[in-house]
Amino acid sequence: MQQASSFPDSETVASKLTSLASEDKAWVLLLMENALQDENLLAGLNLYLDQQTNARFLNSLKLETTGEWLGGNAPARLQIRITETAKASQHPAFLAFRKGLTASAGLEKAYPKAPI
């Protein structure tokens, strides 16, 4: 019995996050609508961040922008997992992504603090 390949694969998700043109944003938004695709999205995000750590040039502004866009658009069910991914390393690529993610306030919007 052959195991079905997952679609989209992590390379596809990583390439969409790398370019993040308007059509790529629409594609990622569509992917985030389906909870069954969460693992594929997170695997692609991990690959994207790993690729950025190995890049010859660290484009921290682009990483911040990607983090801010993803944090601002990801549904509540993904906010904690994306934040955990961003905290997985102290590499400058992860730090830049995390800075943008924090700026989006997506986690705070998804899980507001309870009034005292």
Res. 2 pLDDT band, cuts 50 70 90: very low
Beta strands in the chain (DSSP E): none
Judged by DSSP in three states, 42 sits in helix
Kind and range of the H or E run holding 17: helix 10-19
Task: Determine the average pLDDT of the residues in 91-107.
Answer: 97
Average pLDDT, the chain: 93
Handedness of CA 18, 27, 104, 49 (dihedral sign): negative
Q: Could you report the per-residue pLDDT of 43-75, keeping only the tens digit for each?
A: 999 999 999 999 999 999 999 999 999 999 999
**Residue in the structure block whose two tokens are 């400058």:** 92
Token readout for 71 is: 């944090």
Res. 116 pLDDT band, cuts 50 70 90: confident
CB of 107 closer than 8 Å to CB of 71: yes
Task: Determine the average pLDDT of the residues in 73-96.
Answer: 97
